[in-house]
């Protein structure tokens, strides 16, 4: 079954994205996150499993006192 983008109905394919997380006083960029990426508009969708992992990465990053941090998603 093909997955279609909810915005433009473009085809979604497996790929990697960079996810920016703006926490106000802090900014985290998580690179290489596995996701389904729209081939037309670049919108992406991550699975619940990946989302949970992202949340734990963000929580961990919050414990460090760094204003800008660039992290790599490790599966």
- Interface with Zn ion includes 23 (CB under 5 A)? no
Query: Cβ closer to Zn ion: 9 or 52?
Result: 9
CB of 10 to Zn ion, least distance (A): 4
Task: Compute how many residues bind Zn ion; rule: CB under 5 A.
Answer: 8
CA atoms within 13 A on the CB side of 16: 8
Contact flag: residue 41 with Zn ion (CB under 5 A): yes
Q: Which of residues 54-73 bind Zn ion (CB under 5 A)?
A: none
Name every residue whose Cβ is closer than 8 Å to that of residue 33 and which is 6 or more positions away in sequence.
16, 17, 18, 19, 46, 50, 54, 73
């Amino acid at each position: 079954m093909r997955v279609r983008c909810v915005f433009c109905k473009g085809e979604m394919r497996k790929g990697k994205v960079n996810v920016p997380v703006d926490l106000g006083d802090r900014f985290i960029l998580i690179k290489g996150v596995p996701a389904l990426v729209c081939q037309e508009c670049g919108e992406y969708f991550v699975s619940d499993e990946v989302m949970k992992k992202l949340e734990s990465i963000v929580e961990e990053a919050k414990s460090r006192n760094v204003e800008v941090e660039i992290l790599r998603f490790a599966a």
